[in-house]
Amino acid sequence: MKEEIELLKEGKRLDGRGFDELRPIKIEVGVLKRADGSCYFELGDNKVIAAVYGPREMHPRHAQDAKMAVVKFRYNMAPFSVDERKRPGPDRRSMEISKVSREALDPVIMREYYPKTEIDVYVEILQSDAGTRTAGINAASVALADAGIPMKDLVSSVAVGKIEGEVVLDLNAMEDNYGEADMPVAMVTRTNTITLLQMDGRLEKEEFKRGLQLAMSACRQIYELQRAALIDRYSESVVEGEGEE
Amino acid sequence: MYKVVIPGDFISEAVSRAGEGTYVEDGKVYAMRYGIVDERGSIKVVPLSGKYVPTEGDVVIGRVTEISFPFWIVDIASPYEARLHMSEFADTRDEKIEFGSLSRYLDLDDLIVAKVTNVDLMMRIDLALKEDFNLRRGGRLIEIPHTKVPRVIGRGGSMIKMLKEKCNCFIFIAKNGRIWIRGREDDMNLATEAILKIASESHTSGLTDRVADFLDSFKREKGRR
Amino acid sequence: MGLEIVDDIRKDYVHDLIGSGKRVDGRGFREYREISMEHDVIKRAEGSARVKIGNTDVLVGVKLEPGAPFPDAPDEGVIITNAEFVPLASPEFESGPPDENSVQLARVVDRGIRSSRAIDLEKLCIEEGEKVWIVFIDIHILDNDGNLVDAAALGAIASLLNIRIPNERYGLTGENTLPMLDTPVAVTTVEIEGNILVDPNFNEENAATSRLTVISNKDGTLSAMQKSGSGGLKEEEIAEMVEIGIEKAGEIREKFL
């Protein structure tokens, strides 16, 4: 039997957060020189980096799509990212996460603008504290924009869960391990369209609905941060001599 | 003042004026790219990044990567490669080139200036050779993101005119972000530095003046030594 | 990405029909194809079932073997779920290691069983910290006409319901049966032209851009969900899919489990 631990003390979570509070987020755009687009993203103790290469020529030729770009997504965890060293290389979990992450972004990428090419999205988890796939999707969205990929919108992502009967936002690793449900969500905030939805655990239908709404509202907050990071990058900084060009 | 937008940003309801870099949905014009809005004329989003995709009429600098009779396959800094048919090469119009002898005219890694004559639905890109100048001797090729090219040219050519004068170099800027410079070694270094500076500060205003100052101060330094 | 063959003509046909309220095979939007189930089809397995939903045909075999427990659960048995999309089942399936689709299917079925606590893992303990029963759930796709996950999940539960623990083979004594604590059922729906359709066949699966699998328990609680496909879903569509999921799970559970 797994040991029971108390995740809530006097109605507050162990890290002091309220039920609907996100962990601190940090976003940096264009952090890699060689990639066409990149983003470093922190969500609490999660540290992830996303890079986009492309559109570029696709090989093998027979796998090309004559009408649109093929998007590939690779989620990978560094061996030192977790407590018990993770053997390098893809495993079943990262395969599934890569698939659902790609499907979370596909709806917004306008692939028809670059037929026969491939767009590669690489997400590396450098440090993990639950919610890595959501951090990865957030970072990948920003990296895709940074790479100049034509998109309809950004995608924003967060997970909700249930601990000691309470529906809460953005579980950390402890809460994920000992909690009762875990539900990652991704959304296009402008259209309120859900592009990623997974759930694992035990939720009543009503708890699920509440959790989904909580996730959607948090995604809107995250969207503002993603947007700010991209806009601020090109804000007029130190410039001597104004005047029109 | 430049307005930066990200994909999905609402720009305008003037759907009839929607242009490049935007898409229309439910009677509204949205940004499709991470870039700068330009509402003079059509509503455009000028991208801050992204790969070069050729259009008919573009003049590019290419590098031969493969010889595949009767074509040379040319890399034009795009996700798509281009091809040059042997008949485009002036010398060959009178002669008949044999299989295996294409490399005598243009070999692997040779640089060419060419015009994009056709881009078809399958993204096959055809080039025609432009022989306005020789790309083989005593010059240097640099590459900047193609999105920065307009800035290096400047409004009405103001920036590139200034660069040519102050650096005393021949400078040719191709649409695909490749730039050919020819001059004395230290003049070429100065021009290179100036162009890279423009590329990295392309989103700021007052750039022409700043670059002019940069070049002038460099020359003053040089004069002192 | 696997070879996803999308026949544009068929896709448009499906869309057009649905736009006028019909499905290609004449079913209602909330209607499953005919489901049939055979128990204990493989004598050498400790549990097995063959499930057909329409033309989709899935065989699940369960094998048990003693092995080491996970260090953080020394008194619990282990479940390992795998799916083989063997080439004979479909022109798109290639031989080779599991691709992302078969990995996803296996993991979703596994989560449904695990989260619902359908199996009392403590009953699978042989010697705490040393030896437990490893339950291998192997899903073998025989014919892919869409909605593999519902058939696979149903086959898995049906296999587990009448499991025989092979104590004798390993010189062990203990219970020979393993009662199930819950019977989670997976129900998959797709969205096409703003309509929600349950149990998509192969053509409907390809015509749709979004699919949601909802796995629910005897008491109507949700134990797993998975959205797949390159489309997006609205909150109301998801709510409808969850409703259908719980409702249909109840019907299927009553009839087959």
Q: How far is A137 from chain B (nearest CA, A)?
A: 16
* CATH 3.40.50.300 corresponds to the domain B139-224: no
Contact exists between A and B (3 or more beta carbon pairs < 8 Å): yes
Give yes or no for a contact between C68 and C132, defined as CB atoms under 8 angstroms apart. Answer: yes
Check pLDDT > 50 for residue B65. yes
**Dihedral-angle region of residue B156 (phi above 0 means left; psi in -120 to 50 means alpha; beta otherwise):** left
Give yes or no for a contact between A159 and A171, defined as CB atoms under 8 angstroms apart. Answer: yes
* CATH 3.30.300.130 corresponds to the domain B4-47: no
**Quick one: CATH architecture of C18-256?**
2-Layer Sandwich (3.30)
Of A227, A115, A73, A145, the residue nearest B21 (C-alpha): A145
* B131 vs A43 pLDDT, higher one: A43
Give yes or no for a contact between B145 and B49, defined as CB atoms under 8 angstroms apart. Answer: yes
> Which residue in chain C is spatially nearest to A103 when comparing CA positions?
C230
Give yes or no for a contact between A231 and A146, defined as CB atoms under 8 angstroms apart. Answer: no
pTM of the prediction? 0.91
pLDDT at position A114, please? 95
Rounded to the nearest 5 degrees, what angle is found at the Cα of C24, between the Cα atoms of C21 and C26?
70
Q: Which chains touch A (3 or more CB pairs under 8 A)?
A: B, C
Confidence of residue B224 (pLDDT cuts 50, 70, 90): low
Dihedral Cα C250, C242, C35, C208, nearest 10 deg: 180
Distances (CA, A) of A121 to A37, A229, B118, B163, C3: 9, 19, 31, 38, 20
pLDDT at position C34, please? 97
Q: Where are the beta strands (DSSP E) in C3-161?
A: 35-39, 47-53, 56-67, 78-84, 125-127, 131-143
CA–CA gap between residue C109 and residue B154 (Å, rounded): 60
> Which residue in chain A is spatially nearest to B79 when comparing CA positions?
A56
CA–CA gap between residue A170 and residue A189 (Å, rounded): 17
pLDDT in tens, C20-34: 888 988 999 999 999
Interface of A with C in 58-97 (CB under 8 A): 70, 72, 92-93, 95-96
What residue segments make up the domains of chain C, in order of their start?
Answer: 18-256
pLDDT at position A245, please? 33
pLDDT in tens, A199-239: 999 999 999 999 999 999 999 999 999 999 999 988 754 33
The low-confidence residues of chain A, meaning pLDDT below 70, are 1-3, 236-245
State whether the Cα torsion C145-C229-B49-A123 is positive or negative.
negative
Give yes or no for a contact between C81 and C139, defined as CB atoms under 8 angstroms apart. Answer: yes
pLDDT at position C174, please? 87
pLDDT at position C4, please? 45
Give yes or no for a contact between C60 and C158, defined as CB atoms under 8 angstroms apart. Answer: yes
What residue segments make up the domains of chain A, in order of their start?
Answer: 18-231
pLDDT at position B91, please? 60
The low-confidence residues of chain C, meaning pLDDT below 50, are 1-5
Q: Which chains touch C (3 or more CB pairs under 8 A)?
A: A
Residues forming CATH 3.30.1370.10 domain(s) in chain B: 139-224
> Which residue in chain A is spatially nearest to B156 when comparing CA positions?
A245
b/e per residue, A57-83, with b = 16+ CB within 10 A?
ebeeeeebbeebbbbbbbbbbbeebee
Nearest to A148 among B1, B47, B209 (CB): B47
Q: Which chain B residues have a beta carbon less than 8 Å from that of A234? A: 2, 4, 36, 48, 203
| CB atoms near residue A90 (< 10 Å) | 13
**Burial of A207 by CB count in 10 Å (0-12 exposed, 13-18 middle, 19+ buried)?**
buried
pLDDT at position B96, please? 65
Amino acid letter for position B202: S
Fold of A18-231: Ribosomal Protein S5; domain 2 (3.30.230)
* B48 vs A151 pLDDT, higher one: A151
**Burial of B85 by CB count in 10 Å (0-12 exposed, 13-18 middle, 19+ buried)?**
middle
Q: Average the pLDDT over each of A87-101, B96-110, B184-198, C44-58 and give the range with the smallest value.
A: B96-110
Which ipTM score applies to this complex? Answer: 0.90
> Which residue in chain A is spatially nearest to B155 when comparing CA positions?
A245
Q: Is A117's CB within 8 Å of B79's CB?
A: yes
Q: Which chain B residues have a beta carbon less than 8 Å from that of A235? A: 4
pLDDT at position A239, please? 32
Q: Is A202's CB within 8 Å of C73's CB?
A: no
Is C230 in the A-facing interface, judged by CB distances under 8 Å?
yes
Q: Where are the beta strands (DSSP E) in chain C?
A: 35-39, 47-53, 56-67, 78-84, 125-127, 131-143, 185-192, 195-198, 210-216, 222-228, 233-234
Contact exists between C and A (3 or more beta carbon pairs < 8 Å): yes
* CATH 3.40.50.970 corresponds to the domain B59-129: no
Average pLDDT across chain B, whole number: 89
Is A2 in the C-facing interface, judged by CB distances under 8 Å?
yes
Rg of chain B over all Cα atoms, to the nearest angstrom: 20
CA–CA gap between residue A169 and residue A175 (Å, rounded): 10
Is B4 in the A-facing interface, judged by CB distances under 8 Å?
yes
